[in-house]
Amino acid sequence: MGATGTTVETTVEIATGTGWVTICPYDRLTPGRGVAALIEGEQVAVFRTRAGELYALGNRDPFSGAYVMSRGIVGRRGEVPIVTSPMYQQAFDLRTGECLDEPTTPDGTPAALPTWRVRVRS
Amino acid sequence: MTDAQQTHVVLVGHGMVGQRFLEALTEAEPRPPGLRITVLAEEPRRAYDRVHLTSWFSGTTAEELSLCGDGFAAEHGIDIRLGDPVETIDRAARTVTTGAGHTVGYDTLVLATGSYPFVPPVPGHDTPGCFVYRTIEDLEAIKAAADRARIGVVVGGGLLGLEAAGALTAMGLDTHVVEFAPRLMALQIDDGGGRVLRRKIQDLGVTVHTGAGTRAIVDRAGRVAGMVLSDGTELAADLVVFSAGVRPRDQLARAAGLAVGERGGIVVDEYCRTADPHVLAIGECALAVDGRVYGLVAPGYAMAEVAARQLVAGPPDPDRTFTGADLSTSLKLLGVDVAGFGDAHGVAEDCVEVLYSNPQAGVYKKLVIGADGRLLGGVLVGDADAYAQLRPLTGGPLPVPPEQLVLPTAAGPRVRLALPDTAVVCSCHGVAKGTIRAAVTEHDVVDVPGVKRRTKAGTGCGGCVKLIGGIVTEELAAAGIETRRGLCEHFARYTRAELYEIVRVKGIGGFARLIDEHGSAEGPDADGCEVCKPAVGSILASLSGGHILDGEQAALQDTNDHFLANLQRNGSYSVVPRIPGGEVTPEGLITIGEIARDFGLYTKITGGQRIDMFGATVDQLPSIWQRLVAAGFESGHAYGKALRTVKSCVGQTWCRYGVQDSVALAIELELRYRGLRSPHKLKSAVSGCTRECAEAQSKDFGVIATAEGWNLYVGGNGGTTPRHAELLASDLDHDTLIRTIDRFLMFYIRTADRLERTASWLTRIEGGLDHVRAVVMDDALGICADLDELMGRHVETYEDEWAATLADPERVRRFVSFANAPGVPDPTVRFTPEREQIKPVLFERLEVRGR
């Protein structure tokens, strides 16, 4: 997380337990939006901010259970970069995965999203 | 009820004044021990708001009009018996006997029997088709008869008569008003005001006959067929409503030997007592010490308070008496402001009148000034904004020269008068300005509903609500509390409407430039949030056109707009093709059916007369639309804050009752406004006759056919807070209708807040519907040319979003479930059969590890 891409012909990669997996060319990511990726059967949401930073979080929205986080709106709340769930609009800290609106889901589980390491490789 | 410990109060009649009496009685603290209350009422309903009775025609239900909730009687231990009128009073035995034969004893009897409508005893006055205008039951009967009627005549051009005329007009009847006096609303306003009012009422399509009496009702085959006026003129009519004043219902008291006035009314003293110390009378049935019977609610409430006071507080309090009230009234009749207050007719000796009259603009304002310079009264027609400030000042000196108060705003600055704390703002409940200020400064009230709860001000006729709002804002500002109005933290200084103006005037084409130049944050790369991004996306789409997924705009759209489909609970999407006006060919239906079958989608008919197909995954959307577009379908924008559908009934072409082709108009409107992005979704409907099968009055803009053209209603919606649309204009021809809707929509898009439906927008903006009417019909702001041009550009540049998406491989490329595995469907979106279709499988808990 927190890498910056500048040059063309670069790719976005996410760390698995055993190495780095290529997701897509950096330029395929729209500033201010996310995409979903399938990594060893798990769903990861990868975001690019307006300033060019990359973040990767779990794609599952803990409030609805649906795998939709990559389709949320990316923005800022104060200094915190956030993504807002497209389902019920809770905001999550892109850096930590922590939910800024509610600490737990209605069934009592923590509302944080898992985070993944992400980088740009030229 | 001779138990010495008990006092049994029996109230006869449960109208507005009776209910106020009960409230005053039960609010007293401490509650007198042993107080027992029984209500005996003739009407089948508990007390309801008769002041706003006419709103029943525009959809306010009897429940909403009710003033006495279900719990009220139980909470206060009151025995309310409805539908059984008291028929006799035995004062010696202190009992009353009802029509059903029940005899009830009393210690104190309070008569609040109200009044009955006066029906002139002309030949034929009781012919079927003749009605009065007093109770909800009367209105139900009028409405039923109006369905079969074409022409309605209202006898009486007073307040209620004009309201009745408005209701008949709204139901599509040709309406006449017949008034005996030489002018309309003879009691409240003068000749000059009457002339302006008459002109305005006639502009609305009502034919007014003044100085005309009713000689006879024409009876043909046992039904009303017309009426003969005093000068011999014959009017055709299918329905007659008598609204020629009311008479006090004093028969009970009269029969019991109590004194009544020469022209009716139970004689009471300043404590509302009759000659019998055990019998009181309040409201419209009572003749006050000043020799008048008051037919307004505010004096009735004052009497109720006086009567209740002496029952709970022992001996009569010389400070709490009722010796008379003024007849000040301010109301909106058929959309026309009318107010009369104080000495409206200028009868005081040596008084002078300062007046401004502009019949062209429909404005008449007159102030009556005493020889000593004090304000004595006035008449305001067409613009009664000043009423709320002027009435409390009546009787005192004017703080500014009177001409400043009557001249139109354009001729000079609008004067704001500082009201003294003692000025009574709400005359229904006698609440002074100081009390309202105190609610804000001492009890943390921050809005009008809060003031209503705390002080009751504004809960009577509602005429003072605007003034209360002003006082609250003023007090909050004085206390340094600023009402936060910015869109969000990123645009803290601007409302949506202001951002719209900035984008429009500066020709801004993207979010980055807008936030860099006008956002709150300093420095480069500022970003927005889930509030401002879609709002700005919508503004950009409204103004600049272009595809909503192109360039910077892509990042602004929420997931529905981003995938041009509606997100459902399991992460799948639904698809709604446009079916303009709800008209679809059998071929079209078959195509939709085949597509749904081939992609395994769940289908359901929507409320907007279209077909919704559920269960599509992101990667299926382009393939589904490929086939829909090939079959001639376009995006239905079910996903967007945009025009949804224009519903229609089948109209004149097929329907036996239709008077216009509602389907053709609905299709035309839907095609004209399709794709129009707005602050919130827009819904519309067109009905082909007054039966209103398309439910146009529940839409943001709804059109109902009349024999002469189209009536346009605006500001309706369903949802959490349903609201009926209000009549913006009547009998418009086709071109005027389209032009008016164009402007209405563009004005709304230009000035509304984010996610503000037309209904709340109309309630919020200053001047409300009247202001909107002035802007879009009379070009009061001089912006109609702009609005027309914007809509022209929208119509010209419209293109189907889905066809445009499919034509561009770059745009199609985003429709994949996984960026690193295009073509792999999302395995978590799964379905199970139900009623021969699919439904989503709920999620099992699946832990995802982070690394």
3-state SS record for A73-117: EEEEECCEEEEECCCCCCEEECCCCCECCCCECCCCCECCCCEEC
Nearest CB partner across the interface for B555, out of A16, A33, A81: A33
Nearest CB partner across the interface for B851, out of A15, A65, A91: A15
pLDDT-derived band at B281 (thresholds 50, 70, 90) equals very high
Of B759, B774, B797, the position where a domain reaches its end is B797
Domain that holds residue A15: 11-121
Nearest CB partner across the interface for A115, out of B556, B843, B850: B850
Task: Establish if B781 belongs to a structural domain.
Answer: yes
Within 10 angstroms of residue B124's Cβ, the number of other Cβ atoms is 19
Q: Answer yes or no: do B263 and B226 share one domain.
A: no
Q: Answer yes or no: do B606 and B711 share one domain.
A: yes
Give the chain B residue nearest A19 (alpha carbons).
Answer: B851
**Better-predicted residue by pLDDT, B476 or B300:** B300
Q: Answer yes or no: do B380 and B399 share one domain.
A: yes
Minimal C-alpha gap between A69 and chain B (Å): 10
* Contact at CB, A84 and B534, closer than 8 angstroms: no
pLDDT at residue B546 tops 80:
no
pLDDT-derived band at B710 (thresholds 50, 70, 90) equals very high
Task: Establish if A6 belongs to a structural domain.
Answer: no
Average pLDDT, chain B: 88
Q: Does A117 touch chain B (CB under 8 A)?
A: yes
Per-residue confidence (pLDDT) for residue B264, from 0 to 100: 92
Of B357, B388, B417, the position where a domain reaches its end is B417
Q: Distance between CA atoms of B454 and B547, rounded to whole angstroms? A: 51
Q: Does A97 touch chain B (CB under 8 A)?
A: yes
Query: Which residues in chain A are closer than 8 Å to B828, comparing Cβ atoms?
Result: 43, 66-67
Task: Establish if B821 belongs to a structural domain.
Answer: no
* Contact at CB, A66 and B828, closer than 8 angstroms: yes
* Contact at CB, A76 and B846, closer than 8 angstroms: no
Task: Establish if B757 belongs to a structural domain.
Answer: yes
The one-letter code for the residue type at B697 is Q
Minimal C-alpha gap between A30 and chain B (Å): 7
Q: Does B516 touch chain A (CB under 8 A)?
A: no
pLDDT at residue B30 tops 60:
yes
List pLDDT tens digits, range B402-422.
887 777 654 444 445 667 788
Average pLDDT estimate for A22-30:
91
Nearest CB partner across the interface for A66, out of B563, B571, B849: B571
Map tokens 């309801």 to a residue.
B48
Q: Does B842 touch chain A (CB under 8 A)?
A: yes
Nearest CB partner across the interface for A37, out of B490, B819, B849: B819
Nearest CB partner across the interface for A49, out of B527, B826, B846: B527
B293-302, B384-393, B524-533, range with the lowest pLDDT: B384-393
List pLDDT tens digits, range B350-383.
888 888 888 778 889 999 998 888 889 999 998 8
Q: Answer yes or no: do B511 and B623 share one domain.
A: no
Per-residue confidence (pLDDT) for residue B5, from 0 to 100: 62
Minimal C-alpha gap between A24 and chain B (Å): 6
* Contact at CB, B818 and A68, closer than 8 angstroms: no
Task: Establish if A3 belongs to a structural domain.
Answer: no
* Contact at CB, A58 and B850, closer than 8 angstroms: yes
Nearest CB partner across the interface for A68, out of B554, B555, B567: B567
Average pLDDT estimate for A32-57:
93
Question: Contact at 8 Å (CB) between A114 and A57?
Answer: yes
- Check whether the bond before B840 is cis (ω within 30° of 0): no
Binding residues of B for siroheme: 693
Average pLDDT estimate for B214-231:
92
Q: Does B754 touch chain A (CB under 8 A)?
A: no
Task: Establish if A57 belongs to a structural domain.
Answer: yes
Task: Establish if A5 belongs to a structural domain.
Answer: no
- Interface size A-B, in CB pairs within 8 Å, comes to 126
What CATH number has the domain bearing residue A110? 2.102.10.10
Query: Which residues in chain A are closer than 8 Å to B569, comparing Cβ atoms?
Result: 64, 66, 87
pLDDT-derived band at B331 (thresholds 50, 70, 90) equals confident
Q: Answer yes or no: do B109 and B153 share one domain.
A: no
Q: Distance between CA atoms of B299 and B98, rounded to whole angstroms? A: 28
pLDDT at residue B192 tops 50:
yes
Q: Answer yes or no: do B578 and B703 share one domain.
A: yes
Q: Answer yes or no: do B647 and B626 share one domain.
A: yes
* Contact at CB, B819 and A43, closer than 8 angstroms: no
Give the chain A residue nearest B549 (alpha carbons).
Answer: A30
Minimal C-alpha gap between A16 and chain B (Å): 7
**Residues within 8 A of B (CB atoms), A 42-81 only:** 42-43, 46, 49-51, 58-60, 64-68, 71-78, 81
Domain that holds residue B531: 489-557
Give the chain B residue nearest A23 (alpha carbons).
Answer: B820
* Contact at CB, B567 and A87, closer than 8 angstroms: yes
Q: Does B824 touch chain A (CB under 8 A)?
A: yes
Query: Which residues in chain B are closer than 8 Å to A75, comparing Cβ atoms?
Result: 490, 527-530, 532-533
A6-10, B591-595, B642-646, B663-667, range with the lowest pLDDT: A6-10
Task: Establish if B828 belongs to a structural domain.
Answer: no
Q: Distance between CA atoms of A2 and A24, rounded to whole angstroms? A: 17
Contacts 24+ apart (CB under 8 A), B435-441: B436/B468, B436/B471, B436/B472, B437/B471, B437/B475, B440/B471, B440/B472, B440/B475, B440/B476, B440/B479, B441/B475, B441/B479
Per-residue confidence (pLDDT) for residue B462, from 0 to 100: 66
Tally of structural domains, chain B: 5
Task: Establish if B123 belongs to a structural domain.
Answer: no
Minimal C-alpha gap between A39 and chain B (Å): 9
Q: Answer yes or no: do B146 and B103 share one domain.
A: no
Question: Contact at 8 Å (CB) between B567 and B573?
Answer: yes
Q: Answer yes or no: do B523 and B617 share one domain.
A: no
HSE-CB at B777 with a 13 A cutoff on CA atoms is 13
Contacts of B529 (CB under 8 A, 6+ apart): A73, A75, A76, A77, A82, A84, A91, B488, B489, B490
Nearest CB partner across the interface for A116, out of B490, B562, B850: B850
Of B184, B216, B244, the position where a domain reaches its end is B244
Q: Answer yes or no: do B138 and B179 share one domain.
A: yes
Nearest CB partner across the interface for B525, out of A22, A50, A89: A50
* Contact at CB, B570 and A66, closer than 8 angstroms: yes
HSE-CB at A109 with a 13 A cutoff on CA atoms is 11
Task: Establish if B83 belongs to a structural domain.
Answer: yes
Q: Answer yes or no: do B278 and B190 share one domain.
A: no
Burial of B177 (0-12, 13-18, 19+ CB in 10 A): buried
CA-CA-CA-CA torsion for B165, B166, B170, B175, nearest 10 degrees?
30
Per-residue confidence (pLDDT) for residue B34, from 0 to 100: 83
List pLDDT tens digits, range B316-326.
777 788 888 87
Per-residue confidence (pLDDT) for residue B408, from 0 to 100: 67
Minimal C-alpha gap between A3 and chain B (Å): 16
Per-residue confidence (pLDDT) for residue B844, from 0 to 100: 55
Per-residue confidence (pLDDT) for residue B638, from 0 to 100: 96
The DSSP code for B845 is P
Task: Establish if A4 belongs to a structural domain.
Answer: no
Q: Answer yes or no: do B728 and B610 share one domain.
A: yes
Q: Does B209 touch chain A (CB under 8 A)?
A: no
Per-residue confidence (pLDDT) for residue B481, from 0 to 100: 66
Mutant choice from B548, B567, B848, B849 vs A, greatest count of A C-beta within 10 A: B848
Per-residue confidence (pLDDT) for residue B410, from 0 to 100: 46
Task: Establish if B552 belongs to a structural domain.
Answer: yes
**Residues within 8 A of B (CB atoms), A 25-44 only:** 28, 30-33, 35-39, 42-43
Per-residue confidence (pLDDT) for residue B413, from 0 to 100: 40
Question: Contact at 8 Å (CB) between B292 and B129?
Answer: no
Per-residue confidence (pLDDT) for residue B851, from 0 to 100: 41
pLDDT-derived band at B154 (thresholds 50, 70, 90) equals very high
Give the chain A residue nearest B825 (alpha carbons).
Answer: A38
Question: Contact at 8 Å (CB) between B230 and B215?
Answer: yes
Task: Establish if B363 belongs to a structural domain.
Answer: yes
* Contact at CB, A33 and B554, closer than 8 angstroms: yes
Minimal C-alpha gap between B837 and chain A (Å): 21
Q: Distance between CA atoms of B330 and A87, rounded to whole angstroms? A: 48
Phi, psi of B279 (to 5 degrees): -125, 125
Task: Establish if A38 belongs to a structural domain.
Answer: yes
Minimal C-alpha gap between A107 and chain B (Å): 11
Query: Which residues in chain B are closer than 8 Å to A17, comparing Cβ atoms?
Result: 851
Tally of structural domains, chain A: 1
* Contact at CB, A42 and B526, closer than 8 angstroms: no
What CATH number has the domain bearing residue B164? 3.50.50.60
